[in-house]
């Protein structure tokens, strides 16, 4: 749930709020021979380190040129290229102490299907913003993005010692799903906050506190 610039809600899991139409490309899989460096292991997916090889051998940069995929995201305003994605990696991800971004890899198929990030990591106020995308249309299933979010939320609270994880969305469907499945609370609505697709959208602001996370985990 990448609330892009500071507090502007954007792509949380927007790629899932409207099921993509089936196209020839939606059946193609970006299979690679990459030996992924796993950072956090999951059941169906792993969260892996992003590096130059990932930029070169996956479709990561192409996802943001897909008009349908980015329909509900604050993306697709300008074209993206492989060199721009590499620059983003070096400038915003590598050696950063305020942003943690990983690839989401399907364990069985060894395919990078999306990315997930903790951004604006604030060690003073102990909060960060979560955002993610499933870019490979074949794998746009809630079970993958939900597991990825759960792994990073756990990492935020149990390893980075965050007190709050927050995010945002421009669709009520995604906002409601975040509340229902991941335990987030709706903290507010910014009216006509985001311009996309020829109109302004409200921004739904969501947050999950440390105490709420542990209460939810202990009740499971």
Tens of pLDDT, residues 140-197: 999 999 999 999 999 999 999 999 999 999 999 999 999 999 999 999 999 999 999 9
Give the structural domain span for 133.
14-165
- pLDDT exceeds cutoff 50 at 26: no
Taking the whole predicted model, whether its pTM rises above 0.95 is answered as: no
Categorize the per-residue pLDDT at 31 as very low, low, confident or very high, splitting at 50, 70 and 90.
low
pLDDT value of position 32: 73
pLDDT averaged over the chain? 89
Whether residue 190 lies inside any domain: the answer is no
Whether residue 69 lies inside any domain: the answer is yes
Whether residue 106 lies inside any domain: the answer is yes
Q: What is the CATH number of the domain that holds 29?
A: 3.40.630.30
DSSP letters along the chain, please?
----STT---BTTGGGTSPPPP-SGGG----------EEEE-SSEEEEE--HHHHHHSSHHHHTT-TTTTTTSS--SS---HHHHHHHIIIIITT-SS-EEEEEEETTTTEEEEEEEEEEEETTTTEEEEEEEE--GGG--HHHHHHHHHHHHHHHHHTS--SEEEEEES-HHHHHHHHHHH--EEEEEEEEEEEETTEEEEEEEEEEEHHHHHHHHHH-
pLDDT value of position 8: 36
Whether residue 174 lies inside any domain: the answer is no
Q: What is the pLDDT of residues 43-73, one digit of tens each?
A: 999 999 999 999 999 999 999 999 999 988 8
Token code pair at residue 162: 């965050």
Whether residue 39 lies inside any domain: the answer is yes
pLDDT value of position 23: 45
Number of domains making up the chain: 1
- pLDDT exceeds cutoff 50 at 5: no
Whether residue 206 lies inside any domain: the answer is no
Whether residue 38 lies inside any domain: the answer is yes
Whether residue 78 lies inside any domain: the answer is yes
């Amino acid at each position: 749930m990448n609330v892009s610039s500071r507090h502007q809600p954007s792509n949380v899991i927007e790629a899932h709020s409207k099921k993509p139409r089936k196209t020839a490309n939606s059946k193609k899989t970006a299979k690679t021979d990459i030996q992924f460096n796993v950072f956090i292991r999951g059941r169906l997916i792993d969260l892996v380190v992003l590096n130059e090889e990932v930029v070169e051998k996956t479709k990561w940069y192409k996802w943001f040129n897909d008009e349908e995929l980015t329909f509900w995201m604050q993306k697709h305003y300008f074209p993206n290229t492989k060199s721009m994605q590499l620059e983003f990696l070096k400038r915003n991800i590598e050696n950063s102490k305020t942003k943690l971004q990983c690839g989401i890899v399907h364990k069985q198929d060894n395919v990078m299907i999306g990315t997930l990030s903790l951004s604006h990591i604030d060690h003073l106020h102990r909060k960060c913003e979560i955002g993610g995308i499933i870019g490979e249309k074949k794998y746009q299933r809630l079970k993958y993005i939900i597991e990825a979010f759960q792994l990073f939320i756990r990492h935020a609270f149990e390893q980075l010692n965050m007190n709050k994880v927050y995010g945002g969305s421009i669709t009520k469907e995604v906002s409601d799903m975040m509340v229902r499945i991941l335990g987030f609370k709706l903290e507010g609505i910014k009216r006509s906050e985001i311009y996309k697709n020829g109109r302004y959208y409200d921004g739904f602001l969501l947050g999950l506190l440390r105490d709420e996370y542990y209460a939810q985990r202990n009740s499971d």
